[in-house]
Amino acid sequence: MSRPDMAALAVGDVIGTRTVTFDRADLVRYAGASGDFNPIHWNDKVAEGAGLPGVIAHGMLTMGAVVGLVSEWAGDPGAVVDYQTRFTKPVEVPNPGTASVDVTATIGVIDGDAGTVRVDLAVTVDGAKVLGRAQAIVRL
C-alpha cells in the first residue's frame, strides 16, 4: 500500500472505519503472547468479584488492534511515531460470542512543517466510548 498524500488531506477527513472483534480464544492467545494472565481476562467469577461486568479484553490488546487501521492507512507501521490513549470503559467479552469494537479514524491535525498528521480514533462498543483521547501521530 502506498503512503497517503499529505497535501490531499484535510482536518476532519475520515480515513477509515472498521469493526474489530474479540472472542475468549483471542484473549487466551493474547495472554500467551503478552504474558498477561490476569484472571479478569479469562475467569468470569474473578472478573465479577473485581467489580467488572464479566471477563474483559486486555487493554493493550484493544489498543493494539484498533491502531491497525492507522498503520494500514499509512502504508507502514513504522510511520506511526506516537500513539496514546486513555482506557475509559472495559470491553466485555461474552461467552459464547464476541465483543465488537467499532473504530473511526479522523484527521485531527496536519503539521506540514513536521511532516506529520494526528489521527484521532473514536473507539466504541455498542455506542459507548471504550478508549478516550486515542490519538496517533503519523509521519508522512
The CATH number that applies at residue 110 is: 3.10.129.10
**Residue 1 belongs to some domain of the structure:** no
The number of domains in the chain is 1
Residue 86 lies in a domain: yes
pTM: 0.94
Q: What percent of the chain has pLDDT over 70?
A: 99
Domain that holds residue 36: 6-139
The mean per-residue pLDDT over the stretch 70-93 comes to: 97
Percent of the chain clearing pLDDT 90 (strictly above): 98
d(CA 91, CA 76): 28
Q: How confident is the model at residue 3 (pLDDT cuts 50, 70, 90)?
A: confident
What are the tens digits of pLDDT across the range 19-71?
Answer: 999 999 999 999 999 999 999 999 999 999 999 999 999 999 999 999 999 99
Residue 73 lies in a domain: yes
Distances from the Cα of 56 to the Cα of 23, 36, 90, 131, angstroms: 10, 13, 6, 14
